[in-house]
Structure 1
């Protein structure tokens, strides 16, 4: 088991900041990690299904998938930054003031997390819009009646999986943004 440092000599506000960083860093890490893994699984299923299904190239969906992957990559960076929050909290509890990160460095890391999650959310939202736009166009262009000879005109359930993957990624980025803003305000008092 890990030995906890003696924090009795540290100022109480510093102990509180370390606790807040550790607690909310872990919350952000796990929310983003779980939603990111689920989104990745759904996205990979959607990509695999596109290679098996009808072969026409749907420009909106392909571009949307690319942006969804970009959103997941930035989510991976966001997960790393959330993990950094927990490392900073440990460094704050060290008795040696020379190795302890400064308030400015801590705020800089939180600001970076905020920027990364906002960029990832933007990429994912644009990707979701491209996918949804493509699905709407196909659904509107479906002829009425039961006889349809062009399978490429159908809206497939797999397309909706791609939308779900994007919504999960957006939710993960939102959690990262909300926690970063809250931490920033809490530490910047």
Structure 2
């Protein structure tokens, strides 16, 4: 049985915003979740390989970038939760009038989501800058024909592990971008009349 008789009819703008929150929330949630899991697995793999490889632990030069990438991944976890919360907010908007959030409350929630994704984007972009700078320095400093010289330290060369960290960080950047686009689109839907 439906409880529609005790709830006031849903105004069209509220229904439109609730539908937009539900749709964007689920799309953003799943895209961010998949990219966060893939990025997390890649980073975990990179950390485990770096700690297991003799002579490489802590000397690859990308530790600062790796820390920022992990921080961005942590914020991505919160942003993914926020995307899921948008679906719950959609249910609240479709609920009875006394418990229905106002436009201002809904906007506050969108701002929190937008800011969290922007902070995560900044962290992952700073991580990307740090990692890319180290990889560029390694690429420029590689002497020609160095593989023939036994005295050359292989840690001075770009390692596949370094590329894994770049890939994981790129996934996190894309996930934060999806969250930013979703939040901006939802803000536009809230103010569309």
Normalising by structure 2, what TM-score?
0.90
- Does the 8 Å contact 1:5/1:93 carry over to 2? no
**Given that residues 32 and 75 in structure 1 are in contact (C-alpha distance below 8 angstroms), is that contact kept between their aligned partners in structure 2?**
yes
Q: How many residue pairs end up in the alignment?
A: 186
1:176 aligned onto 2:179? yes
Partner of 1:91: 92
2 CA distance for matches of 1:68 and 1:40?
Answer: 10
Q: How does 1:41-56 map to 2 (within 5 A)?
A: 41-53=41-53, 54-55=55-56
Q: Would the aligned equivalents of 1:56 and 1:152 in 2 still touch at CA under 8 Å?
A: no
List gaps (5 residues or longer) in structure 2.
Answer: none
Is contact 1:142–1:153 with CA below 8 Å preserved after alignment?
yes
Q: CA deviation at 1:48?
A: 1.2
Instruction: Say what the alpha-carbon RMSD is for the aligned residues.
Output: 1.8
SS of 1:114's equivalent in the other structure is helix
Structure 1: runs of 5 or more not aligned: none
Distance 2:10 2:120 in 1: 37
Normalised by the size of structure 1, how large is the TM-score? Answer: 0.92
Structure 1 residues 5 and 21: CA distance shift in structure 2, 3 A? farther
Residues 15-54 of structure 1: pairs in structure 2 closer than 5 A: 15-53=15-53, 54=55
The residue correspondences of 1:120-139 to structure 2 (distance < 5 A) are 120-139=120-139
User: Partners of 2:140 and 2:28 in 1: how far apart?
Assistant: 39
Give, in angstroms, the shift of residue 57 of structure 1.
3.4
Residue of structure 1 in register with 2:66 after alignment:
65
Q: 3-state DSSP class of the match of 1:98?
A: helix
Q: Tell me the CA shift for residue 52 of structure 1.
A: 2.3
Q: Describe the shift of the 1:57–1:169 C-alpha distance in structure 2 as closer, same or farther (beyond 3 A).
A: same
